[in-house]
Amino acid sequence: MALNVSISNSLILNYDLPITMYIFSPPSLNDLIRLLKAWRFWVLGAIFGAVVGAAVYYVAPPPYRARATAIVDFNLEEAFPQDTDRQYFYYLERETRKLEDIAWSDDVMSQLSSEVGIPVEELRGGKLDLSQPAEGGWHFYAADQNAQQAAQIASTWAQLFTDEVNAKVAASEGLNPFIRVTTAQVENLPSERSAPQSTYLLIGAIGFLAASAFAVLFFGKSK
């Protein structure tokens, strides 16, 4: 009995502490009990958060995202008949950087802007994304609120990149003559939302669950 009284008194005194000291004090058994007793409240908060997340998704949905693919072949066997790993490494790294620069170059961006009717600043400001720049498939992503527009941008970008690289290779303008680029997926591209609805539901549920738990612990203190 004495032990119970001591614990109870210590908990009561804990609530008399300044708010800053209370926040940074270690959690007590009473905090856990109060939180568990309010399980209906924070479960309801999680459900409400999921509903809010769904509403945000329908009111302000994320943009559509389309992906086009071009195949880059560095032809290592022809460029280096002798098997030298170090030469392979530096060759791939050097030529990959050059190709990345071409993908984002002023020439390619200007042509893309003219064909899709979007300013270059907007294209470079997050509407485009280049993935997996290495030997093999290069993925050209485009985001837009219109699904067909997103597919057109991605397709056009991949095609312009392919044409520009092949033209520079043919003219021997700073690229290894053994590089070959071909388009693989530039037609009938599917477009999907850049973020699924489940992500909005999860974020909303977790956010309101945390807020509910916070409210129980800091604003539902017993006197």
pLDDT tens, position by position, 69-82: 999 998 877 766 56
* DSSP bridge pairs for 128: 142
Answer yes or no: are the C-beta atoms of 136 and 71 closer than 8 Å.
yes
* DSSP bridge pairs for 185: 69
The yes-or-no verdict on residue 4 having pLDDT over 50 is: no
End-to-end Cα spacing for the chain: 21
Cα gap 11→21, rounded to integer Å: 14
Query: What domains does the chain contain, in order, with CATH numbers?
Result: 2-60+197-219 (no CATH), 64-193 (3.30.70)
Q: Is the dihedral of CA 192, 60, 152, 141 positive or negative?
A: negative
Cα gap 181→163, rounded to integer Å: 8
| Token pair in block for residue 64 | 């559509």
Residue 88 pLDDT level (bands cut at 50, 70, 90): confident
* Residue 200: count of CB within 10 angstroms of its CB: 21
Count of all residues that appear for the chain in the document = 223
What residue has token string 């539902």?
220
| Token pair in block for residue 139 | 């993925």
The yes-or-no verdict on residue 21 having pLDDT over 60 is: no
| Token pair in block for residue 2 | 């004495």
How confident is the model over 3-26, as a mean pLDDT? 45
Task: Tell whether pTM > 0.85.
Answer: no
